[in-house]
Chain A
Amino acid sequence: MKQRSSLMFASVFAVLLAITGCGNKGNSGAGGASVVKIDGSSTVFPLAEAVAEEFQKEKQGKVKVTVGISGTGGGFKKFIRGETDISNASRPILKEEMEQAKANGIEFIELPVCFDALTVVVNPQNTWIASMTIADLKKIWEPEAQGKVTHWNQIRPEWPNEKIALFGPGADSGTFDYFTEAVVGKAKASRGDFTASEDDNVLVQGVSGNKYALGYFSYAYYSTNTDKLKAVSIEWEKNKVKEPVFPTMENVLAGTYNPLSRPLFIYISLKSVQKPEVKEFIEFLLKNAATLAKEVKYLPLPDKAYEMAGTRFRSLQTGSGFGGVPEVGLTVEEILNRPPHS
């Protein structure tokens, strides 16, 4: 009896080994053809998908591209382990991520690929609001406001004595990090008593269903819902334009929608640049990103920025222009003019 049961165990074990064994040959992916692996931010995903779709069409299936949505942080984790060629990011790489990359021998090139404008939105029935200053927004969103700033007239006395319903992205999102950094002055410093969702469509529903609502999210979710939402123009005392600025393509391209317009990035592993298909993919991206960004309702960079990004890519300048410290209110030229370092 004993013999028999151990025989059973042995055979089961053998089956397990056989199954797992055939995976060990490597995870090169789809049978022989070259694959460009992209992962990271879901905010950058629509653009990456569009570029991947067109690139594969042009290559007629000779090169395969995969895009995942592990989030900016999750994408960097894989990138640092050397599992992906390109990492999408809605914020610059952080210091600790740079250190880990260095320890693993991963060098990278940082390229801005398009803009996102964080849009502050209210209900279309909101008649009292024309513009807001960054100071107004800070008054609402700073951590000290929690439980205290609850009515519109607490921000400006002429606004109605009604309860504000606040909507914003969840704490894991890069949008949340950038907004808090730009408005409150410290990333992730925010009041907690607002309706948070990782799905921006939920925020759209929330703001469009409540007359006294206020929310913020990516421009793409505003521009596809202009019938349900009203954008608020933003005034910032450090801005070169001394009047309220609306989130529009012209203003973002002119660099006047500050500090709420932010560049989105891709990071390319230096090892992967040696693969011709990755190099071709990036060249294709730089050439077509402006057109494709508009198609997926994103905001392209100025033409000059794509040229500068191309120069940086071709001369293989590695490292981040931010040195691991996130900053807000920079124009894309400023970012690209900085010598990147690791």
Chain B
Amino acid sequence: MSAVQKIISRRKRQDFLFNIVGIACTLIGIVTLFALLGDLVIDGLARVDWEFMTSFPSRFAERAGILSSWVGTLLIMLVTASTAVPLGVAAGVYLEEYARRNWVTNIIEINIANLAGVPSIIYGLMALGLLVYQFHLGQSILAGGLTLAFLILPIVIVATREALRTIPQSIREAAYALGSTKWQVVRHHLLPYSTGGIMTGIIIALSRAVGETAPLITIGALTFIAFLPPLPVQTEAPFVSLEWVNSPFSVLPIQMFNWVSRPEREFLTNAAGAGIVLIVVTLSMNAVAILIRYRMRKNIKW
């Protein structure tokens, strides 16, 4: 066997070895995930039914449900999305398209990148001091939603900038050549083209926020709450009410945590049931993100 062949076969062996190692590493992740999911489904699937979804928490495991916590989760996400999305997208557009490159923008950029890595409990402490005590928002849905909005804001900004960067420079130049203002370029070209990327980032960020417990516990989310926030629509003028944002709340992860730490073992089944609902919510949000990205990519050709 010639020296060259030897080298080739050695390289091939290395390649094969790495292949095996890679498969093993991938399997560790996937098998763990499926084992966890399987365990959760076996423990809790029988518990998830209409009654479970429409009952308030109770001291009897078989009567307890997750109505107040899933409604709380939903409303928190609503506040979070409606704050973090406009702020984050606008900030991303500004930094990418408007801001001049100098040391100030550099500092801002570094800080945004760092903020994305700050532990969520820190956001909780910040929100407790600022939103709850300083702005007197109380332990409300508004305070909780804004806390999570702060948490995901850096992710939304980064996602927006990444999406804008993928748009070819020639598109901008062509629009300017036709006399467009910067705003017209952003409004008519950049935002429509980057919607897919931005939406994906937003949904990934929201599905991170949906599982957060620590910051919400810090600001004072409740564990037992057997009533729903007031309805956003009223029968009398002005027909819409924002009163619900001041309502106290609980969320799914907190309800789960409470059930897991109860002495009666029957509550573990409830916790598994709530876990299934939470995972279904997260996975369907991710599915929507993938769908949107696919649709948007298909429509754009340049």
Contacts and interface: CB of A to CB of B under 8 A. Distances in A.
Q: Is the interface of B mostly helix, strand, loop or mixed?
A: loop
Contacts of A35: 248
B160 to A, nearest CB: 14
Q: Is the interface of A mostly helix, strand, loop or mixed?
A: mixed
Interface string B72-84: 0000000000010
Interface stretch (B14-22, B42-50, B261-269): B261-269
Interface residues of A, number: 56
Given A66-B222, A69-B223, A26 B264 contact: no
A32 B246 CA distance: 11
B265 A67 contact: no
B227 interface: yes
Contact of B224 (A31, A66, A78, A220): A66
Contacts of B83: 19
B59 A49 contact: yes
Contacts of A39: 220, 222
A199 interface: yes
B247 A31 contact: yes
Contacts of A31: 229-230, 241, 243-244, 247
Given A4-B182, A30-B227, A53-B226, A24 B261 contact: no
B247 A78 contact: no
Given A4-B182, A5-B98, A78-B220, A66 B248 contact: yes
A80 to B, nearest CB: 13
Nearest to B243: A31
B94 A23 contact: no
A30 B59 contact: no
B242 interface: yes
Interface string A47-69: 01110110010000100111111
B263 A221 contact: yes
A317 B98 CA distance: 66
Contacts of A16: 87
Interface residues of B, number: 50
Contacts of A1: 98, 182
B247 A30 contact: yes
A296 B135 contact: no
Contacts of A201: 260-261, 263
B135 A199 contact: no
B263 A224 contact: yes
Interface stretch (B2-10, B140-148, B287-295): B140-148
Given A69-B258, A224-B263, A297-B263, A23 B222 contact: no
Nearest to A81: B133
Nearest to A218: B263
Given A12-B90, A49-B57, A224-B263, A28 B225 contact: no
Contacts of A48: 224
A200 interface: yes
Given A39-B222, A50-B59, 7 more contacts: A12-B90, A20-B146, A26-B136, A30-B227, A33-B227, A68-B220, A292-B59
9 contacts: A4-B98, A19-B83, A22-B245, A32-B230, A49-B59, A49-B223, A53-B59, A67-B225, A297-B263
User: Nearest 3 pairs between A and B by C-beta?
Assistant: A27-B138, A31-B230, A67-B224
